[in-house]
Chain A
Amino acid sequence: MLVLTRGSYALPGTSIDFKTGTWRTSRPLHKHWAAPCHSACPAGEDPQAYIANVQENHHREAWESIVHINPIPSITGRICPHPCEHACNRGRFDQPIAIHSIERFLGDEARQRGWEYPIDLGRGAGATVAVIGAGPAGLSAAYHLRRRGYQVTLLDALPEAGGLMRSAIPINRLPRDILDADIARILALGIEFRGRTRLGVDVHLDELRSDYRALFLAPGTSKAKAWSVDGAVPTDHRTALELLQEWVAVGSLPAPQSVIVHGGGNTAVDLCRAMRRAGVKEVHLVTASGLPGPDTEPDDIINIVPRELEQAIEEGITLHPHRTIQRLLFRGSRVVGVEMVTLRKLPTKSGQTGRIAFEGTETLLHADMVIPAIGESVDPTGLGTLLGGGREYLWPGNPFGRLEHTPGLFVGGDARGDRGTVSAAVGDGRLAAAAIDSYIRQSDDPEVMSRAVITFDHINSSYFEPAQRVEEPTLSVAERTDTAEIDRPLSSAAITHEANRCFSCGSCLACDNCWTFCPDNAVVKTVALAKDGSHYVFDYEYCKGCGICAAECPCGYIVMEAEL
């Protein structure tokens, strides 16, 4: 029996007995979205997650979070075209986070401080797996298989591991001491490396298949694609990759007065820059893609690192975007130029997009040399029937690289045919390792977790301040050489500044807003109880469902869900 108190006083805080949660018609939930940087990363990194660690000055945890996915952040931080930054929601506010700088910094820190990969080597003694090709895909697969306890043998035709990273990436973009050190660190995990072992020559697929429980094929693409314009080919025809590899290996390049490079990737731009530095006066890049800008669709932007493009322009490369070569101009048998035509990537009748050339936009461009940089295909040597029927690539048709008709065989990297970056190759290696693990254990393919991607309109930008993006200092054009790294490192302070610009899209920033703004004390701050990575739990006994927490969450981490 409730008894009236004298003067009807009440005891403190007794309203706690009144459960206002019954008023609610919708409730807040924590929604762990995929940040756009995460969903855009071909390697599968979650930059938002490791940047959160950097914000707390936990650099080692941040690095460990990366190498859980990608063992070579100091390399990808340097050479990846970082689609993460293009996707970054902060780009809609001021400028995207310099994710690559943070990644590179963490990779360098790990190497310099000797942080060991967070791998339990005691798990060894598992089954044996062979990895063919020690490029980024092969290294990644070997690493991830090793993490899972497998005995890995890594084979490569070249004497040293690294693949294209070693043979084709300019030294001034990826210093070789860094490459060597990172590869050595991976191999030191207990991966057996056998160089100078060419598939189909020194070793054969059949014997490998019988010696190992599974194979991962990452041979890369080394066979130049046939190139001609209306059947015509210059007499001094060399591909960009050949020239670039030669330059990387021995440092020499042909030096005509002027050159036209045809293509839209890093190989093309790297070669342009190398030739320009080697003394070629006029270097033209003809590419079907567009330059970054408001008029260019995201999937039509030239696929190279934006700062590389800027540096190329700085160095005097002339760009001809949205152009293709329609005709070669000959004087006798010697090429003296090309006829270009404007084209655009547009939807076609079939519903897909295609590049459409516009009649009447033809222009002539004169040069002493025309070099195609339109890509390479898989060298079929030793692959037997895997590459039959005139196919240029292995096309596995699934994200794990599983070759459907050849059990135990997996493929990744450029050889897949649908890849083109080191980061994508790293991602292939990781997914294949998981699939190989499932294959050996005879379980189903691993589940690929995919979260909805959070868009900018879910971010409450009131809570963020405009802040200048940090840029790595670069050597001036005059200071640049073939060997010295052009992009210089950033200080720890600059990295902290940059990390603090992160919106933490779709993940709890632990900013306290929900806790601060709840009129009903229905958000409880915690570390232990929040099992979802946030620092708060909703107390549904009291939450009235007003939605302030969702509206004022800077990160879009809180959504309202209707209740019956």
Chain B
Amino acid sequence: MTTINESAFDVEIRKAVLRSKLKERHRVETSFPRKRKEEPALAELRERQPAFRGLEAGHRACQGCGEALAARLVAEAAGPDVILTNATGCLEIFTSPWPQSAWRVPWIHSLFENSAAIAAGIEAAMKHQGKATKVIAQGGDGGTFDIGFQALSGMLERMHNVLYVCYDNEAYMNTGIQRSGSTPHAASTTTSPAGQERMGKRHLKKDLLSIIASHHIPYAASASVAYPRDLRRKVRRAMEVDGPTFLQVHCPCPLGWGHEGAVTIEVARLAVQTGLFPVVEFERGEVAGVMPLRNPKSVTEYLKRQNRFRHLFSNDPRAREEREHLQALADRNIEKFNLRGEGMDPLDSEGADTVRRGGLVA
């Protein structure tokens, strides 16, 4: 961990913010104003945290938002010398309601489908200016798997020095939980609802990572919010590469998946531990590493915690069939990526989140 000292500019900005009349801005007040006296020391302490805070508090993500957490961790690991782009989506909306922004790094939102292209333009500009600032493009699964796929593919093919991070919460959450190319098979969404005739989404989750890896880029990996140490390592690894890199970060959406915000991490962990979300790394198109599963869990463990799969536990015989189908898909992932671990491994699905006194070894 590194301590980021506040730059003179930070101080200037902060003073400017204080000076300006932004304080009088319109605020959403709840009907329950609470009186809490914050010790001034706490606010001061925020400025001296032993990690760079790229994403500030006060953003409007839902309680327990996996995407907010993933973005926070990515911004932390990436550090201050970056420029971020952001596809339209929850992340953009909840971080940037004018006149406020939760970002402490330069950030731009343009459109839904052009995060990668905007990033490519910025990267070209950085090259032209002779700057080493890394460009990170961000998008949700809709903006990455679907509408932004073309721009992403082009960016990768042109070998821009851009890290693209896809926050994969498996549906269009910002617009109200519509199915995307990333929505898992049989999940119920507002455009793939479960009903008399249908058991949720009829199609499979797109294997985007393999497609991305097939661009022969230096580094492409999947990660999960449940394993922050692994995620941070992958961000740093990608930051070091001079060329296009890609991270697919699995992050539950409590609202869209139908679980309590408190179990976001547990659900994410189960996605990995069942094999439904394989955590793997590709280098130049070939599998370069996996997070082995020590004791693969039954997909039922994962499915039963989420309302989007609730119909899979009905009496309908197809419910059983779809559960088996999902189990078979998980098994296929385990086989395909050779995920089954051998014995105890400090980097496997059980060991990778082990804690010790004094904090995670980053």
Contact = CB atoms under 8 A, between A and B. Distances in A.
The reply to whether A and B meet directly (CB within 8 Å) is: yes
A504 B56 contact: no
A355 B190 CA distance: 64
A12 B353 contact: no
A179 B148 CA distance: 76
Interface in B39-91: 39, 41-42, 45-46, 49-50, 53, 55-66, 68-69, 72-73
B269 A462 contact: yes
Given A1-B21, A526-B45, A547-B262, A465 B58 contact: no
A510 B359 contact: yes
Interface size class of A (residues with CB under 8 A): 35 or more
* Residue of A10, A464, A518 contacting most chain B CB atoms (<10 Å): A10
Contacts of A541: 36, 38, 57
Contacts of B49: 524-525
B58 A17 contact: yes
Given A465-B350, A539-B42, A10 B59 contact: no
Interface stretch (A412-420, A432-440, A550-558): A550-558
Contacts of B14: 13
A8 B56 contact: no
Contacts of B105: 12
B266 interface: yes
A546 interface: yes
A330 interface: no
B17 interface: yes
Contact of B72 (A8, A513, A521, A539): A521
B358 A510 contact: yes
B27 A18 contact: yes
Interface residues of B, number: 75
B99 interface: yes
Contacts of B61: 519-520
Given A519-B61, A524-B45, A546-B64, A511 B102 contact: no
Contact of A513 (B25, B39, B99, B355): B355
Interface string B278-292: 000000000000000
B131 interface: no
A139 B13 CA distance: 65
B260 A18 contact: no
Contact of A23 (B16, B30, B102, B263): B30
Interface in A506-564: 509-513, 516-522, 524-526, 528-529, 537, 539-542, 544-548, 550-552, 554, 560
Interface string A1-15: 111110010111111
* Residue of A1, A14, A546 contacting most chain B CB atoms (<10 Å): A14
A22 interface: yes
Contacts of A544: 62-63
Contact of A17 (B60, B63, B64, B100): B100
Contacts of B344: 465-466
A550 B260 CA distance: 13
A511 B29 contact: no
B262 A546 contact: yes
Nearest to A554: B355
Question: Interface on chain B toward A: helix, strand, loop, or mixed SS?
Answer: loop
Contacts of A504: 357
A285 interface: no
Contacts of A548: 64, 69, 261-262, 264-265
Contacts, number: 205
A521 B55 contact: yes
* Residue of A5, A16, A464, A524 contacting most chain B CB atoms (<10 Å): A16
B22 A20 contact: no
A55 interface: yes
B151 to A, nearest CB: 22
Contact of A12 (B13, B28, B72, B261): B13
B21 A552 contact: no
Contacts of A455: none
Given A15-B59, A511-B359, A521-B57, A2 B22 contact: yes
A525 B50 contact: yes
A44 B25 CA distance: 56
A479 to B, nearest CB: 34
Contacts of A550: 262
A155 interface: no
A237 interface: no
A21 B57 CA distance: 10
A16 B45 contact: no
A197 interface: no
B228 A516 contact: yes
A539 B21 CA distance: 24
Given A5-B99, A520-B68, A539-B57, 10 more contacts: A2-B99, A10-B98, A12-B103, A15-B57, A22-B30, A56-B357, A462-B266, A504-B357, A511-B358, A541-B36
21 contacts: A4-B98, A11-B99, A12-B56, A13-B14, A13-B104, A14-B101, A15-B95, A15-B100, A16-B46, A17-B25, A17-B100, A463-B355, A464-B354, A511-B356, A511-B360, A517-B265, A519-B264, A521-B56, A547-B260, A547-B261, A548-B264
Give me the 10 closest cross-chain CB pairs, A-B, nearest first: A547-B262, A15-B58, A511-B355, A546-B64, A10-B101, A546-B63, A512-B359, A546-B261, A15-B102, A519-B69
